[in-house]
């Protein structure tokens, strides 16, 4: 898998009811960098993610590598950018996990041997190499999340995009997800409210609010800016507070 840089410039998008979700948003992510996308509800995070592989189309410019996202390049863009939705069930619809992970490569018209190789590699990458014959509805929530990621990895993307990946995960599943993401040598863009998770999986972060990219920088630096976070309805991760000696215990 080749890691691609991502560039978003002056991206503007309004929904049919007139709601402006993105207002000249801009960000840059280097090849192989992990970026956490943070911000309050309605900031435009999910809308931006859906533009990265052409699910939505707004005004502005997006480049994956040196290829602009356009109607003509959608097939190549969707091969380069793997999007993992918040609800894993949106990506698991076949009788067995193997079939779900094989779905994308089969649609590329790849030979059966290559499809099997890709499925094995993808399941191995997420720690589900023995789960191929299982029915998706028999998986736990954490296993479903990992299987959904495998359906994307089998396409060998250079960019992995995840929307609220820790939603409804227990502690063990969350730790497993952190290990998987940190082992993937590709560009990652992770949107989420779990700022501790962002801190553990992302080197960089971008704060969004009102459809704009307010500030981008190193994850620890940005997530450690208490006044900036507070101004946008967010709180500094407890681990950073503890490191600074600001951690307070709840009253009995």
| Domain boundaries defined on the chain | 6-86+158-243
Torsion of CA 29, 35, 40, 41, to 10 degrees: 80
Q: How many CA atoms lie within 13 A of 105 on its CB side?
A: 26
Torsion of CA 181, 154, 57, 48, to 10 degrees: -10
Give the tens place of pLDDT for each residue, 126-137: 999 999 999 999
What pLDDT is recorded for position 251?
Answer: 42
Q: Report the DSSP pairing between strands 159-163 and 212-218.
A: unpaired
Tell me the CA distances in angstroms from 138 to 71, 104, 237, one per residue in order: 38, 22, 34
CA neighbor of 66 nearest in space, from 7, 25, 9, 3: 7
Tell me the average confidence (pLDDT) per consecutive run of 10 residues in the chain, 252 residues long: 94 95 97 97 95 95 96 94 92 96 94 97 96 95 96 97 93 95 96 95 97 96 95 92 66 40
What number does CATH give the domain 6-86+158-243?
3.40.50.300
DSSP at 251: P
Q: State the sign of the Cα–Cα–Cα–Cα dihedral 155, 160, 161, 162.
A: positive
What pLDDT is recorded for position 252?
Answer: 38
Could you give the strand order of the β-sheet that contains 34-38, starting from the edge strand earlier in sequence? 81-84, 159-163, 187-191, 34-38, 204-209, 212-218
DSSP at 122: H
CA neighbor of 1 nearest in space, from 122, 151, 124, 145: 122
Cα–Cα dist 252/249, whole Å: 9
Cα–Cα dist 144/40, whole Å: 26
């Amino acid at each position: 898998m080749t890691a691609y840089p991502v560039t978003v410039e002056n991206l503007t998008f309004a929904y049919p009811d007139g709601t402006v979700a993105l207002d000249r948003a801009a960000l840059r992510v280097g090849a192989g960098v992990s970026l956490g996308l943070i911000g309050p509800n309605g900031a435009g995070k999910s809308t931006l993610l859906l533009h990265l592989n052409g699910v939505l189309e707004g005004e502005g410019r997006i480049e994956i590598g040196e290829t602009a996202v356009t109607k003509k390049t959608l097939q190549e863009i969707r091969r380069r950018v793997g999007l993992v939705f918040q609800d894993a069930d949106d990506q698991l619809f076949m009788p067995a996990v193997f079939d779900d992970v094989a779905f994308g490569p089969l649609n590329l018209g790849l030979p059966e041997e290559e499809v099997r190789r890709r499925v094995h590699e993808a399941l191995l990458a997420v720690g589900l190499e023995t789960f191929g014959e299982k029915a998706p509805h028999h998986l736990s929530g954490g296993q479903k999340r990992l299987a959904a990621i495998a359906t994307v990895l089998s396409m060998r993307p250079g960019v992995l995009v995840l929307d609220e990946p820790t939603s409804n995960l227990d502690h063990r599943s969350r730790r497993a997800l952190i290990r998987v993401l940190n082992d993937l040598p590709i560009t990652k863009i992770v949107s989420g409210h779990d700022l501790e998770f962002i801190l553990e999986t992302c080197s960089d972060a971008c704060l969004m609010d009102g459809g704009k990219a307010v500030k981008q920088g190193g994850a620890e630096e940005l997530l450690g800016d208490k006044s900036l976070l507070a101004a946008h309805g967010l709180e500094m991760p407890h681990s950073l507070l503890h490191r600074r000696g600001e951690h307070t215990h709840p009253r009995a």
